[in-house]
Amino acid sequence: MNKIRKGDEIIVLTGRDKSKRGTITQRIDDSYVLIEGLNLVKKHTKPNPLKGTVGGIVQKSMPIHQSNIAIFNAASGKADRVGIKLLADGKKVRVFKSSGEEIKAA
């Protein structure tokens, strides 16, 4: 069970985007995620008339390692860790470590 999932609101812990908040748009693999509007880089692209692309400088969101982000707890207004809790019916749910509240799926 992934502790950080697509659609979660997160906060960046390290790097040039430190303390910025965003939403996860895609999981690249087990350790990297794409965050909407964060970790942006400028990429120089060549024009390709066969594909119909125009050349120039494009801003692109790059993946960030999940160790550099934490889930955002709206109740406390801070970053929080994620724990797994086993319910009585055998179902696993994600909870905030600080409060024990269940994390609502987006």
Q: What is the pLDDT of residues 53-76, one digit of tens each?
A: 899 999 999 999 999 999 999 999
Q: Is residue 103 included in any domain, yes or no?
A: no
β-partners of residue 61 are: 40
CATH number, domain with residue 88? 2.30.30.30
**Is residue 10 within 8 Å of residue 82, measured between CB atoms?**
no
The total domain count for the chain is 1
Q: Sorting pLDDT into bands at 50, 70 and 90, what band is 2?
A: confident
Q: How far apart (Å, rounded) are the C-alpha atoms in residues 53 and 72?
A: 38
Is 46 part of any domain? yes
Is 2 a domain residue? no
Phi, psi of 83 (to 5 degrees): -120, 165
pLDDT at position 12 is 96
CA separation for the pair 69, 18 (Å, rounded): 9
pLDDT at 97 over 90: yes
Is 79 part of any domain? yes
- The answer to whether residue 47 is domain-embedded is yes
Contacts of 69 (CB under 8 A, 6+ apart): 4, 10, 11, 12, 13, 33, 35
